[in-house]
C-alpha cells in the first residue's frame, strides 16, 4: 500500500466514526485554540503599547527634577531658559526641545468649574509628541513671545464643558490658586482612545495646552521643572539623555537632582514583560495538548482492538508489519493535524473577535502558527507510536480468531 492509499484509508476510518473522532480531537482543538487566543491577545496588547509609546515619541527623552524629601531641590537647581537654549543649540543631536510646566488647574466655563491638567509648552512640543488638531491651531512662537492668553483644549474636555468642539473664540477663567487669567480657546486636539490610554486612565484626564510663559504666570512659578527633548534618531536616546543630565548637574552643581524618562527603553521593558507573560500563559494552556495526545492514544488503542480481525486478514494476505504500523500511525497524525487546524481556525476567529472588542491591533504570529502545526504532527506521532506498534505486532492467526 502506497502513501496515497494509506492516507485515503485513514480518512475513511476517521470518517466512519465522525463523532468519536471529533471528541478525540477536542483536546487538541482546545489546546491549540487557547494558545492562539492568548498569543493573539498578547501581540495585540504589545502592538497597542508600541503605538501608544510611538505617539509620545520613541526618540524622546524627558528630564525633570528629582523630588527627594531628604534632599529637595533649591532655587539654583531648577532648569533655566538658558539651559534650554544651550541644549537646543546641540545641532545634530537634538532635533527639538520644549520646556514644560504641568499643573491641575480649575477652569470656569458655562458657569461651572472643572479640573483639567494644563500643560505649559512651546510650539516645538508638536515636533516631540504627536498632537493631532481637530479645530483651530496650536500654541505659536508669537503666543509665547507676546505672552498671549490662549488655550488649546482636547475634544473630550470641550464636549463636556461646551457640548461641542465648535467653541473656538470662547473664553475661560483659569485659576491655579495663586492667580487667575482669562484665556481664549484657539484650538481643539483629538483624544486618542486606545486601550493602553484607558489602562493608564489617561482618557479620563481633561487636558489643555497654553504657552509656557502663561503657565509660569498662572502658577506664579518662574522655574522650569521639566524639559522634553527629541533626540536625533541616529543616536541612542539614553546616551544623549544621560549626557544632558550630566550637563545640568555640572552647570548647576547639583548632583543627583535630575531624572531621565526614556520612552523607548520603557516601551521595551513593558513589551518584554507582556511577552514573557504571554509565553508563560500560552505554555500553561498548551498542557491541554498533552491531554489531547493521551486521548488520541486511547482511541487508537480502542481502534486497534476493534479492527483486530481486519489486521489479521491484511497480514494473512501478505501485508507487512511496517505497512500496518504506518497505517495506524497515519491515522493518529491525521486526527491530531485536523484537530490542530480546527484549533487554529477557532483560535484565530475568537482572537480576532476579542482584540476587536478591546480595540487592539489584530496580529497573527506566523511563528506560533508554524509551531502549532509542527506540535500537532509531533503529538500525533508520539502518541500514535504505541497503538501502531501494538497493531503491527499482532499475530495473524490469533487476530483471525478474535471475536
Per the confidence metrics, is the pTM higher than 0.85? no
Is residue 157 one of the residues assigned to a domain? Answer: yes
pLDDT at 204 over 80: no
- Of 354, 399, 344, 319, nearest in space to 6 by CA: 319
Q: Give the count of domains, the chain.
A: 2
Residues 18, 87: one domain? no
Which of 256, 287, 316 marks a domain boundary?
256
Is residue 313 domain-shared with residue 215, that is, in the same domain? no
Within a domain: 261 = no
Name the β-bridge partners of 64: 226, 259
Span 345-396, pLDDT tens digits: 999 999 999 888 888 888 888 887 888 888 888 888 888 888 888 888 777 6
* 213 and 286 both lie in a single domain: no
Label the pairing between strands 258-262 and 180-189.
unpaired
Specify if 289 maps to a domain. yes
Please identify, among 205, 229, 256, the residue that sits at the C-terminal boundary of a domain.
Answer: 256
Query: For residue 375, is it within any domain?
Result: yes
- Based on the fold, state whether residues 217 and 342 are members of the same structural domain: no
- Is 395 found in the same domain as 315? yes
pLDDT band at 268 (very low <50, low <70, confident <90, very high): confident
pLDDT given for residue 2 in this prediction: 64
What pLDDT, on the 0 to 100 scale, is given for residue 345?
Answer: 92
**Among the three residues 256, 284, 310, which one is the final residue of a domain in this structure?**
256
**Residues 219, 76 share a domain:** yes
Q: Clarify whether residues 213 and 317 are in a common domain.
A: no
So what's the pLDDT on residue 203?
Answer: 47
DSSP letter for each residue of 298-349: HHHHHHHHHTHHHHHHHHHTT--HHHHHHHHHHHHHHHHHHHHHHHHHHHHH
290 and 188 in one domain? no
What does the block give as the cell for 380? 500525533
Same domain for 239 and 102? yes
Say if residue 340 is in the same domain as residue 393: yes
Mean pLDDT of the chain: 84
Q: Indicate if 365 and 237 belong to the same structural domain.
A: no
Domain span at residue 164 reads 67-256
Any domain includes 57: no
Higher pLDDT, 399 or 118: 118
73 and 214 housed in the same domain: yes
Amino acid at each position: 500500500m502506497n502513501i496515497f492509499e494509506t492516507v485515503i484509508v485513514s480518512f475513511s476510518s476517521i470518517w466512519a466514526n465522525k463523532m468519536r473522532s471529533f471528541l478525540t480531537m477536542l483536546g487538541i482543538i482546545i489546546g491549540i485554540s487557547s494558545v492562539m487566543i492568548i498569543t493573539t491577545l498578547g501581540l495585540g496588547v504589545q502592538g497597542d503599547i508600541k503605538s501608544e509609546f510611538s505617539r509620545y515619541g520613541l526618540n524622546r527623552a524627558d528630564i525633570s527634577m528629582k523630588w527627594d524629601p531628604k534632599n529637595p531641590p533649591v532655587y539654583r537647581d531648577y532648569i533655566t531658559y538658558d539651559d534650554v537654549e544651550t541644549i537646543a543649540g546641540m545641532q545634530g543631536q537634538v532635533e527639538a526641545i520644549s520646556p514644560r510646566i504641568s499643573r491641575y488647574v480649575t477652569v470656569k466655563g458655562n458657569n461651572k468649574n472643572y479640573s483639567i491638567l494644563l500643560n505649559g509648552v512651546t510650539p516645538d512640543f508638536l515636533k516631540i509628541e504627536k498632537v493631532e488638531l481637530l479645530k483651530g491651531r496650536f500654541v505659536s512662537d508669537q503666543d509665547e513671545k507676546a505672552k498671549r492668553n490662549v488655550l488649546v483644549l482636547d475634544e473630550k474636555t470641550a464636549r463636556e464643558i461646551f457640548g461641542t468642539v465648535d467653541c473656538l473664540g470662547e473664553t475661560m477663567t483659569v485659576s491655579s490658586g495663586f492667580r487667575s487669567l482669562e484665556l481664549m480657546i484657539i484650538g481643539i486636539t483629538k483624544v486618542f482612545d486606545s486601550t493602553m490610554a484607558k489602562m493608564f486612565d489617561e482618557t479620563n484626564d481633561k487636558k489643555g495646552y497654553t504657552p509656557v510663559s502663561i503657565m509660569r504666570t498662572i502658577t506664579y512659578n518662574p522655574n522650569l521643572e521639566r524639559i522634553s527633548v527629541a533626540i536625533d534618531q541616529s543616536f541612542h536616546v539614553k546616551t544623549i539623555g544621560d549626557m544632558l543630565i550630566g550637563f545640568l548637574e555640572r552647570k548647576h552643581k547639583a548632583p543627583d537632582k535630575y531624572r531621565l524618562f526614556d520612552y523607548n527603553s520603557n516601551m521595551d521593558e513593558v513589551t518584554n514583560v507582556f511577552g514573557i507573560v504571554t509565553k508563560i500563559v500560552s505554555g500553561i494552556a498548551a498542557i491541554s495538548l498533552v491531554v489531547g495526545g493521551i486521548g488520541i492514544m486511547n482511541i487508537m488503542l480502542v481502534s486497534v482492538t476493534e479492527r483486530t480481525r481486519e489486521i489479521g486478514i491484511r497480514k494473512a494476505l501478505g501485508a507487512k508489519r511496517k505497512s500496518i504500523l504506518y497505517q495506524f500511525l497515519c491515522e493518529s497524525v491525521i486526527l491530531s493535524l485536523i484537530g490542530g487546524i480546527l484549533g487554529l481556525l477557532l483560535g484565530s476567529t475568537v482572537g480576532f473577535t476579542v482584540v476587536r472588542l478591546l480595540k487592539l491591533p489584530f496580529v497573527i504570529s506566523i511563528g506560533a502558527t508554524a509551531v502549532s502545526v509542527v506540535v500537532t504532527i509531533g503529538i500525533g506521532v508520539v502518541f500514535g507510536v504505541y497503538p501502531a506498534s501494538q497493531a503491527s505486532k499482532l499475530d495473524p492467526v490469533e487476530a483471525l480468531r478474535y471475536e
